[in-house]
Amino acid sequence: MKTNIFNMKKTIDQHELAEITNLLQRGKTVAFPTETVYGLGADATNKEAVEKIFSAKGRPSDNPLIVHVATKSQLLSLVKDVPDYVERLIDKFSPGPITYVLHHAGKVAPVVTAGLDTIGVRIPNHPVALSILKASALPLAAPSANRSGRPSPTEADHVADDLTGRIAAIVDGGMTDVGIESTVVDCTGEIPLILRPGTITAENIKNAIGACHVYQTEDLPEKPKSPGMKYVHYAPEVPLFLVEKSKIAELIHDYQAQGNRVALLYASHSLQRIPAEQRLYIGTDEHELAKRLYRILRSFNKRDMDMIVCEYPSLSENHAIIDRLKRAATEIIM
């Protein structure tokens, strides 16, 4: 399959936008930028189109997909039994990096929801994504545009590395701004429940509507309502070890004594002199770290490195970053 590339870094060409719209309306898969990561989009009402997403990604079919729409009215048309607080959340945070899980109204293909009675829907805050959604007039099922389990793509080149020849097109809108996936909030109850942390926090939601709970990993249901809850995600090509700061020097020494080439990701300056084949200071600015996290993880390959040791947990108090690193890790050593 030929994968067409559309460059929309600077301007949204209307002729190219029409070509992209035509592909989506004909049941093809198109990768496009959102403010979080690149998504792999297909018509959420078309079963065959959505199945192409699972095939391209190698994604398990019991993992539900998030649907992207252009407007609040379009979002509400896909769901039912909507609690009063949901519209307040939409008015406060959308368009933006937040996904609402609600009971679906039966308007999308069942494969999108993995057989659940709920659906995750969001309005992305990116001019290219919104232009595509408005021009196509379709709800687009759009998980991250990467091979399943790999770090999510934050640049078009990442998508090309994983999916060239497997999808119809890639729309290059430059590097994404947020860098990690949206906050997913279960809104089927009286109080919203965060299923997947993101840059919109429980505190933000509490400030907006007065209450918010956070899902605990030990309470994993048999059929999770959100992506990112059940399977290994975000893993780099080489094993990643999250290690408590005081154990890093000895551990790297032991790994190197076994002939391993070790990369060190650190935030504490006291670690900068530890001998490693590669050292990368990842800083303490949470916005910048989130934006660069997947690019960093994708930068390591088996040709150059045997393992990555990452300082944990003092590198960040950001629950979303910690969540992604835990899911990417081969082992956590405390």
pLDDT digits (tens, 9 = 90+) for 19-32: 999 999 999 999 99
- pLDDT of 223 over the 80 cut: no
The predicted pLDDT at position 225 comes to 66
Whether the bond into 313 is cis, omega within 30 of 0: yes
Is the pLDDT at 227 greater than 80? The verdict is no
Q: What was the pLDDT predicted at 283?
A: 85
Cis peptide bond upstream of 224, omega within 30: no
Q: What is the Cα–Cα distance from 280 to 295, expressed in whole angstroms?
A: 13
Provide the domain limits for residue 204: 4-219
Residue 234 covered by a domain: no
- Reported as a single tens digit per residue, the pLDDT across 6-53 is 999 999 999 999 999 999 999 999 999 999 999 999 999 999 999 999
Pair (282, 193) in one structural domain: no
229 found inside a domain: no
177 & 320 share domain: no
User: Is the pLDDT at 315 greater than 90, yes or no?
Assistant: no
- Are 105 and 80 a contacting pair, CB within 8 Å? yes
Q: What is the mean pLDDT of residues 237-243?
A: 95
164 and 16 both lie in a single domain: yes
- On the question of pLDDT at 221 being above 80, the answer is no
Question: Are both 75 and 165 inside the same structural domain?
Answer: yes
> Residue 161: how many CB atoms within 10 A of its CB?
14
Task: Supply the pLDDT for residue 234.
Answer: 85
Do the strands 66-68 and 262-266 form a parallel or antiparallel pair, or are they unpaired? unpaired
Structure tokens at 262: 């070790």
Stretch 247-269: mean pLDDT, rounded?
Answer: 96
Residue 222 scores a pLDDT above 60: no
Q: Is residue 309 part of a domain?
A: yes
Same domain assignment for residues 212 and 247: no
pLDDT score of 90 more than 90: yes
Cα distances (Å, whole numbers) of residue 37 to 10, 126, 158, 176, 327: 18, 10, 10, 6, 17
CATH label of the domain that carries residue 106: 3.90.870.10
249-255 average pLDDT score: 96
Answer for the pair 36, 293: CB distance below 8 angstroms, yes or no.
no
| CA–CA distance, 148 with 58 (Å, rounded to integer) | 6
Tokens of 141: 């099922």
Average pLDDT, the chain: 93
For residue 231, pLDDT over 70 is answered with no
- Tens digits of per-residue pLDDT, 138-190? 999 999 999 998 999 999 999 999 999 999 999 999 999 999 999 999 999 99
Q: What is the pLDDT of residue 219?
A: 55
Backbone angles phi, psi at 91, to 5 degrees: -65, -30
| Domain membership flag for residue 224 | no
In a shared domain, residues 52 and 127: yes
CATH code for the domain of 304: 3.40.50.11030
Residue 228 lies in a domain: no
Residues 304 and 249 in one domain: yes
What is the pLDDT confidence band of residue 224, given thresholds at 50, 70 and 90? low
- pLDDT tier at 228, thresholds 50, 70, 90: low
DSSP-derived pairing of the beta strands 240-243 and 66-68:
unpaired
pTM comes to 0.94
Confidence band for 59, pLDDT divided at 50, 70 and 90: confident
- The tally of domains found in the chain comes to 2
